[in-house]
Structure 1
Amino acid sequence: MYQYDVEAFMGACDRKGLAAKTMKSYEQTLRLFGLFLAERGITQTEEIRHPHIEAYIDTVRERGKYTVCAVQEPVSSNYPERRRDYGKKVSPVTINNYLRNMKAFFNWCVREELIRKNPIKPDDTIKVERKPLAFVTDAEFKKLLACLDTSKFSEYRDSVIMQTLLDTGMRCGVRHCRSRPGSTGMKPLRTTLLITLARRCQSRNCRQVWLKQVCINQVSDQSDKTY
């Protein structure tokens, strides 16, 4: 049964140690898809075919945002009808996220031999044009740093953090960061600093980047200063 399979899938995700945010996204997507299936009298996972996936995509496009609730009787309503974007068109990015979550579920079903093949096809994904984000200019960044009073520890620390984020491409969501000095030829150990980023992501991979000399000096000065 579809509902039981979803519960088993969520249990498998929990045992794998997936992030709570990922599991919440999976559960929400699969519950909404379950409502769609129930309206059409489909209760078994093995009954789901590719035409059902296509019909669901069309339904999501037509229904609009926040018009369907995954929980039949919510404990407290957040009044979605009061949102400014209520009923507006669901973005292709959101639909692709739904498909990605559903694909993970069906792949699990295939591995568990509940179904023979995944009903979602590669070409179901909607092509999305990604617009590059506007980036601050050097002058704007210098103006931002100039607003900080570096004679105070907290603001000097913030200045170092902002320069490190810009120099390494690090995000605020990075959970762990460790550094170690390195050497290049005859240069002293302080001339290079290697930052290892351990990001909380599905791949669990670490990425190593090198800091520029200007940023190294800022980090070193912060560690040497007494406030």
Structure 2
Amino acid sequence: MLFRFIRYLTYEKRASRHTILAYQQDLESFQTFCEKSFELTALEQASHAEIRAWIIQLVEEKNSASTVNRKISSLRAFYKFLVKNELIELDPMVKIRLLKTPKRLPEFVQEQEMDHVLEESLFPQTFEGQRDLLILKMLYYTGMRLSELVGLKTSDIDLYKSEVKVLGKRNKQRIIPILTDLKNNIQVYQKEKEKSFSNLDEIPYFFVTNKGEQVYPMLVYRTVKMYLDLYAQTHKRSPHVLRHTFATHLLNKGADLNAVKDLLGHANLAATQVYTHNTLDKLKAVFDQAHPKA
């Protein structure tokens, strides 16, 4: 059943490789627990009692609430699949609830710090230097995800219309405007790219390594961390922090929440509302400073 479920995730849900691997590891871990603790040979034999026992063990092993909840979500998806395909009659996950987790607010880089990070004098006037500058600017100016940036193709960028086409989660496309400043950096990078490679027609990806191959996530991560280390005061210094920064700065400048939701490619407004805390903090500061009775 596990193999069938993985095929379903791969070909019907078109889940990412990372997501599929996480589901598989969680379910295999539960399967091992069932075999050792209850001598069950198949996951479809598990009931509410076995699932609850596994959750208790995970908690006793000091797994974080978020880790346990991710594993619960994996089981929910699996047993929902079994019920839908009439492979079991009752869903054993019905009475299983997620653990309470502390509310963690997204980290972001302050505007002044971001100005220092993007100071163009920090970046060499070479192909690699201009690529790294554009990676940082593309993440901060568009709010796209790391996977979206890595998968970006040259044909996705339309300088005439000043927009970039992004392929997001579940193959959903969205269009993000390109500011003039970013447009200029794109043109500089493209010129350096033309100087460095004679076979551009054979290179579909926009961001490439020094060898002309598609950039990989760790290269982007290292690049972002290296420059954020110089000025950013955040604990986390990753491409996703720049996505948080993009959303927070827009909302702090008065952007409409629904517009930010669409730019980020969020499926629902709840995912975007987590950024409003920063706007509220700024409003409180203005209130304390300006109100005559403050």
**TM-score (normalised: structure 1):** 0.70
Question: Counterpart amino acid of 1:32?
Answer: S
Deviation of residue 221 (structure 1)?
4.1
Q: Distance in 2 between matches of 1:104 and 1:10?
A: 11
DSSP 3-state at the match of 1:101? helix
**1:220 aligned to which of 180, 187, 192:** 187
* Aligned counterpart, 1:53: 51
Q: Distance in 2 between matches of 1:7 and 1:224?
A: 48
Q: Distance in 1 between matches of 2:80 and 2:178?
A: 41
**1:180 aligned to which of 133, 143, 158:** 158
Q: Distance in 2 between matches of 1:55 and 1:164?
A: 46
Q: Distance in 1 between matches of 2:135 and 2:42?
A: 52
Quick check: 1:90 aligned with 2:63?
yes
Kept in 1, the 8 Å contact 2:79–2:92? The answer is: yes
Identity of aligned residues (%): 22
Alpha carbons of 1:150 and 1:119: their partners in 2 closer, same or farther (altered >3 Å)? same
* Aligned counterpart, 1:168: 142
1:17-56 deviations in Å (ceiling 9; x for gaps): 5443333222221222112222123335454322322222
Alpha carbons of 1:215 and 1:122: their partners in 2 closer, same or farther (altered >3 Å)? farther
Q: Distance in 2 between matches of 1:108 and 1:47?
A: 14
Higher helix proportion: 2
Q: Distance in 2 between matches of 1:23 and 1:214?
A: 38
DSSP 3-state at the match of 1:118? coil
* Aligned counterpart, 1:137: 110
Alpha carbons of 1:224 and 1:111: their partners in 2 closer, same or farther (altered >3 Å)? same
* Aligned counterpart, 2:222: none
Alpha carbons of 1:127 and 1:212: their partners in 2 closer, same or farther (altered >3 Å)? farther
Quick check: 1:24 aligned with 2:33?
no
DSSP 3-state at the match of 1:161? helix
* Aligned counterpart, 2:255: none
Kept in 1, the 8 Å contact 2:31–2:42? The answer is: no
Q: RMSD over aligned Cα, in angstroms?
A: 2.7
1:120-163 deviations in Å (ceiling 9; x for gaps): 13761123234223322232223223352443332123212211
Q: Distance in 1 between matches of 2:10 and 2:176?
A: 32
Q: Distance in 2 between matches of 1:15 and 1:224?
A: 39
Name stretches of at least 5 consecutive residues in structure 2 with no aligned partner.
Answer: 196-294
Higher strand proportion: 1
Alpha carbons of 1:141 and 1:103: their partners in 2 closer, same or farther (altered >3 Å)? same
Kept in 2, the 8 Å contact 1:197–1:206? The answer is: yes
Kept in 1, the 8 Å contact 2:165–2:174? The answer is: yes
Question: Counterpart amino acid of 1:219?
Answer: I
Q: Which has the larger radius of gyration?
A: 1
Question: Counterpart amino acid of 1:10?
Answer: I
> Between Structure 1 and Structure 2, how many residues are aligned?
187
Deviation of residue 113 (structure 1)?
1.2
Alpha carbons of 1:212 and 1:47: their partners in 2 closer, same or farther (altered >3 Å)? same
**1:7 aligned to which of 3, 8, 13:** 3
* Aligned counterpart, 2:38: 40
Deviation of residue 118 (structure 1)?
1.9
